[in-house]
Structure 1
Amino acid sequence: MRTIIIDDERLARNELKRLLEEFPRINIIGEAANADEAIPMIEEMEPDLLFLDIQMPGKDGFELLEALEDRVPDVIFTTAYDEYALKAFEFNALDYIMKPIDTARLAEAIQRVEEEKKEAQSDDKSEPKEGELGVHDQVFVKDGEKCWFVRLGKVRLFESMGNYVRLHFDDQKPMILKSLNSLEERLDSKIYFRANRKHIINLNWIDKIEPWFSGGLLVTLKPGEIGPGGEKIEISRRQAIKFKDLMSL
């Protein structure tokens, strides 16, 4: 992994480089003492990973990330202060390591990065789905004595209920005997997004997006054409990364 170290303390950079010698997959391609040095370096070299200090002269680590115009690399924050942990994960940091850095803790953080990379590569290799259902497809739903013939675009939310899935459309919430995983395989992934283990949301029905705990997001769905709507659904931290990639230009 092509890596840049950003820290205003030269001794801290040298110590981290020494520790990283034990990890052959980490290829250090540059180092910077502040955001002004780091930003053009990141945009030119396009690293996979940053080890980023938070408190630095000029822009801090968070302001550095906000200043990046293009793809933001994976980030491991390295800092002597623990009060920034929540904010760090709002920026989708993969880890937050306290100084002085312990080798075992560093190994854990790098393993997390490698797992994220493997999952991303697996997603990239997935084959297009046959028989995919999109917003214009009509589906027949039967719940007890009630039946509906509903256009999928009207379904704003799919909610797992054990062996069943509850569909939210208009003011109706029928359940079908199907797992959320099997349903996800049939739905158009450009429109229907797996927010967490219990919910799939229709991206066209998102009304508001807010930062949430541990780097996740909280989305509020639009009111239904008939009925209340307005459900609030948490997008997990891992899915929030995919969500931001999907929604970016």
Structure 2
Amino acid sequence: MKTLIVDDERLARKELINLLKPFQQIEIVGEATDVEDAQEQIAKLKPELIFLDIQMPGKTGFDLLESLDAVPKVIFTTAYDEFALKAFEVNALDYLLKPIQPERLEEAINKLKVEETPPTAEIEKRTLGKEDQVFVKDGDKCWFVKLADVRLFESDGNYIKVYFGGNKPMIHKSLNALDERLDDRTFFRASRKHIINLGWVENIDTWFNGGLLVQLRGGEKIEVSRRQASRFKEKMSL
């Protein structure tokens, strides 16, 4: 598993590298000292796992996750236990308190699931499919969300409202830019304001002017414009 270590302290990175040596499934492909460095390394190396410090000069580990379109598996490493609750709120793979104990590291590694690595060409495309997870931060609340669980993206000015579970947090992204990244086998641009997850469609009715009214399993009703209706019918094999 291609692994990146993100920590501003050189000795902390060195110690973690030494602790990881016994784990043959872990391949350390790089180190990063801050958020900007990590962003570059992630774009270049495409790690499957990140050991991530939370408190770093300038921006935090949460800021890094918020900046990524798709988020790899994450194990937090930090000396600040006050962040523990927040880390668990975002459903990280695990949380390791510094100094890292070998037995706790082993527990974290054992939580990793061996998954089939997608072909390199698919990784290069960076298309976001239902198996990808994204990091969503809204105020003090943070989540790791699997795209399969996101039923709707709704444009709201310069923000996007993300619908999953009972949550509707706002993220500062463009719906057009997101639409270009999402796998069109799973997500459909219903209108100027909405992208829906086809797997969450519960009911479809005819609507005004040749459009359609789609009801999602979450209860939301979304109008599919006349322009998009024929494409939607093809997607849903109507």
Query: Given the two structures, how large is their TM-score scaled by the length of structure 2?
Result: 0.50
Q: Which amino acid aligns with 1:43?
A: A
Structure 1 residues 93-172: aligned runs within 5 Å: 93-114=92-113, 117=115
After TM superposition, list the pairs within 5 Å mapping 1:58-69 onto structure 2.
58-69=58-69
The residue that corresponds to 1:140 in the other structure is: none
Counterpart in the other structure of 2:25: 25
1:24 is paired with a residue whose SS is: coil
Q: Distance in 2 between matches of 1:10 and 1:55?
A: 14
Instruction: Report the alpha carbon displacement of residue 192 of structure 1 after superposing the two structures with TM.
Output: 7.8
State the alpha-carbon separation in 2 of the partners of residues 66 and 190 from structure 1.
25
Matched, 1:204 2:203: no
Which letter does structure 2 place at the counterpart of 1:58?
G
Residue 196 of structure 2 corresponds to residue 190 of structure 1 = no
Measure the CA separation in 2 of the matches of 1:28 and 1:205: 42
Q: In structure 2, what is the Cα distance between the partners aligned to 1:111 and 1:66?
A: 26
Is 1:86 the equivalent of 2:85?
yes
State the match for 1:150 in structure 2. none
Asked if the contact 2:50–2:72 (Cα under 8 Å) also holds between the matched residues in 1, the reply is: yes
**Which amino acid in 2 is paired with 1:205?**
R
Matched residues in 2 for 1:2 and 1:85: separation? Answer: 25
1:2 aligns to 2:2 (yes or no): yes
Q: Alpha-carbon deviation of 1:91?
A: 3.0
Q: CA deviation at 1:81?
A: 1.1
Q: Which amino acid aligns with 1:191?
A: W
How far off is 1:101 after superposition? Answer: 0.5
Report SS of the residue matched to 2:95.
strand
Q: Is the 8 A contact 2:200 2:217 kept in 1?
A: no
Say which SS state the counterpart of residue 65 (structure 1) adopts: helix
1:55 and 1:191 mapped to 2: Cα distance? Answer: 38
Deviation at 1:92, TM superposition (A): 3.1
Deviation at residue 45 of structure 1 after TM alignment: 1.2
CA distance in 2, matches of 1:64, 1:191: 30
Preserved CA contact (<8 Å) 2:4 2:30: yes
Q: Percent identity?
A: 53
Could you tell me which amino acid in structure 1 is paired with residue 200 of structure 2? I
Separation in structure 2 between the aligned mates of residue 39 and residue 222 of structure 1, nearest angstrom: 35
How far apart in 1 are the matches of 2:96 and 2:75? Answer: 7
Secondary structure of 2:23's match?
coil
**Residue ranges of structure 1 left out of the alignment (5+ in a row):** 125-188, 194-202, 207-220, 224-249
Cα offset for 1:86?
Answer: 2.5
Partner of 1:72: 71
Q: Does 2:46 match 1:36?
A: no
Question: How many angstroms apart in 2 are the aligned matches of 1:109 and 1:102?
Answer: 11
CA distance in 1, matches of 2:109, 2:201: 31
Runs ≥4 in structure 1, deviation > 6 angstroms?
none
Alpha-carbon deviation of 1:114? 2.6
Distance 2:75 2:2 in 1: 13
Secondary structure at 1:37 match in 2: helix
TM-score by length of 1: 0.48
Higher Cα Rg: structure 1 or 2?
Answer: 1
Q: CA RMSD of the aligned region, Å?
A: 2.9
Name the structure 1 match of 2:120: none
Q: Structure 2: where are the runs of 5+ without partners?
A: 117-129, 132-197, 203-214, 222-238
